[in-house]
Amino acid sequence: MDYSYPFSMEWTTEEIVDVVTFFEGIEMAYEKGISREDMMARYRKFKEVVPAISEEKTYFREFEEESGYASFPVIKELKASPTGPMLKMNN
């Protein structure tokens, strides 16, 4: 991993940890899979920090530019079927 996670200097340490944990979940969804329950919990915490859709899109875009991992398809798949064992995205 040779990239940084997007965050705001205005956030608390806990909020930064929640956002980084969310983006680590996005990575896991592409690399090895993540439980849907775990990903949903991470997304809920992310939304507490970043409630605005426009701001969410900005952070998603920044993360994708840095890492190559698109967050939106993961969230779309998660919302389409929030129950089930694992969430695994195809690269």
Token pair of 83, please?
């129950």
Q: Where do we find the tokens 């190559």?
A: 68
Query: 38 Cβ partners below 8 Å, 6+ apart?
Result: 25
Q: Per-residue pLDDT averaged across 54-80, rounded? A: 96
pTM for the model: 0.93
> For residue 82, what pLDDT is reported?
66
The average confidence (pLDDT) of the chain is 93
Instruction: Sketch out the chain's domains with CATH numbers.
Output: 13-83 (1.10.220.80)
Q: Check pLDDT > 90 for residue 90.
A: no
Contact predicate 22/45, CB 8 Å: yes
> For residue 84, what pLDDT is reported?
75
> For residue 3, what pLDDT is reported?
81
Give the C-alpha distances (Å, rounded to integers) separating 32 from 3, 24, 86. Answer: 19, 12, 10
Within the chain, where are the H helices? 13-31, 36-49, 53-67, 71-80
